[in-house]
Amino acid sequence: MSALGELGSLRGKKPPGQKKDNLAGYLFLAPWLLGLFLITIGPMLASLYLSFTDYNLIQAPKWIGLDNFTRMLSDERLHNSLRVTFTYVFVSVPLQLAIALLLAVVLDRGVRGMAFYRSVFYLPSLLGSSVAIAILWRQVFGTTGLLNQVLDLVGIEGKGWISDPSTALGTLVVLNVWTFGSPMVIFLAGLRQIPSMYYEAASVDGAGVLRRFFSITLPLLTPIIFFNLVLQIIHAFQSFTQAFVVSGGSGGPSDSTMFFTLYLYDRGFGNFDMGYASAMAWFLLVIIGVFTAANFFASKYWVFYDD
């Protein structure tokens, strides 16, 4: 069903006994192959090379060995950006998925107007990555923003949520959680696949709502939860626009929303320190790779495949 499942099942499939058609195959694949080498693999190798150099776009790259990487070890701002990114990923992704799952389960129980609710909950996923919504967030969580105006009505005195370093990241977490609609739609599709006879059998045996959820829904949904988890983590590690716009491009206040990607942009395109930015990009790739691999490894212990 999914790209991940597809990747896992590649080994098992036997090739069908069809005649090879190399010329046509490669002709149809030509644009993609060209893109793969020119736009993806070529630049990947180039950035690997650049990560061992000092390069400012004007002078030729100068080989400096591992200097960029040792510099990363002592770069306090980089360490801070890692902390910020990890906090963001590991708070917002579980929250987002929990809400997505909860609403999917509620909607799946045959609520009238389900399609309408699904659309309404899904809409923020489409809007969430836009600059316009980031601008809105800047206002809503500002000192005189919508949230504080509402809090004022009930007599609570708010504060500048975005200008306070202790809550600025929280506003971005809220923004990511707000886009729970797309994992919710994936959960809904997964819930449809669960045969209703399981529930009927459990009801006959006297299982209650909670028991049915924890003994049937949750185990059978673990492949989808896993899939959503992997994707949303990869996605969250790469977040850029919201932090950039909400903080006015600075990652502030006092670097509290300085995502790794923001710092990378700042080094590469703010200071034209392309060598260091490339080293950072590869480090990001390694982090994402490690977490994805760890996810796959851990999945053996909690993901349940019903076949």
Partner 1 sequence: MTTETLRATVTTRRTGVITWARVRPLVTHVVLAGSALVMLYPVIWMVVSSLRPGNEIFRDPGILVKDLRIENYRVGWNALTEPFTRYLLNSAVVVLGSILGNLVSCSMAAYAFARLEFLGKKFWFAIMLLSIMLPIHVVIVPQYILFSHLGWINTFLPLIVPKLLATDAFFVFLMVQFIRGIPRELDEAARIDGCGRGSIFLRVILPLMVPALATTTIFTFIWTWNDFFGQLIYLTDPHMYTVPVALRGFIDSTSSSSWGSMFAMSVVSLVPVFLAFLLGQRFLIKGIATTGIK
Name which of residues 130 to 189 contact partner 1 (CB under 8 A).
130-133, 135-136, 138-140, 144-146, 149-150, 153, 178, 182, 185-186, 188-189
Task: Using the rule CB under 8 A, give the single segment among 72-80, 90-98, 157-165, 258-266 that binds partner 1.
Answer: 258-266
29 binds partner 1 (CB under 8 A): yes
Pick 10 or 73: Cβ nearer partner 1 = 10
Residue ranges in 218-247 that form contacts with partner 1 under rule CB under 8 A: 224, 227-228, 231, 234-235, 237-238, 240-241, 244-245
The least distance separating partner 1 from the CB of residue 260, rounded to whole angstroms, comes to 9
Q: Which of 221, 236, 258, 277 binds partner 1 (CB under 8 A)?
A: 277
The least distance separating partner 1 from the CB of residue 301, rounded to whole angstroms, comes to 22
CA distance 307 to 296: 18
Q: What is the DSSP code string of 143-184?
A: TTSHHHHHHHHTT-----TTTSTTTHHHHHHHHHHHTTHHHH
84 binds partner 1 (CB under 8 A): no
Radius of gyration of the chain from Cα atoms? 24
Can you tell me which residue has the tokens 């200097």? 67
The helix (H) or strand (E) run that includes residue 62 is: strand 62-63
The site for partner 1, by CB under 8 A, has a size of 105
Q: Which of 12, 31, 65, 206 binds partner 1 (CB under 8 A)?
A: 31
- Output DSSP code: residue 273: -
Q: Are 171 and 161 in contact (CB under 8 A)?
A: yes
26 binds partner 1 (CB under 8 A): yes
Q: Which of 93, 221, 258, 281 binds partner 1 (CB under 8 A)?
A: 281
CA distances, 161 to each of 129, 133, 173 (Å) = 20, 16, 12
Task: Using the rule CB under 8 A, give the single segment among 45-53, 79-87, 89-97, 165-173 that binds partner 1.
Answer: 45-53
Alpha carbon 131 to its chain's center: 18
264 binds partner 1 (CB under 8 A): yes
CA-wise closest residue to 205 among 194, 193, 216: 216
Pick 112 or 300: Cβ nearer partner 1 = 112
- Bridge partner list, 53: 63
Neighbours of 199 (CB within 10 A): 14
Distance from the first to the final alpha carbon of the chain: 14
Pick 2 or 80: Cβ nearer partner 1 = 2
Q: Are 73 and 83 in contact (CB under 8 A)?
A: no
Q: Which of 15, 155, 206, 208 binds partner 1 (CB under 8 A)?
A: 15
40 binds partner 1 (CB under 8 A): yes
Q: Which of 12, 14, 24, 197 binds partner 1 (CB under 8 A)?
A: 24
Alpha carbon 222 to its chain's center: 18
Task: Using the rule CB under 8 A, give the single segment among 65-73, 76-84, 106-114, 161-169 that binds partner 1.
Answer: 106-114
Q: Are 163 and 143 in contact (CB under 8 A)?
A: yes
The least distance separating partner 1 from the CB of residue 57, rounded to whole angstroms, comes to 7
Neighbours of 165 (CB within 10 A): 13
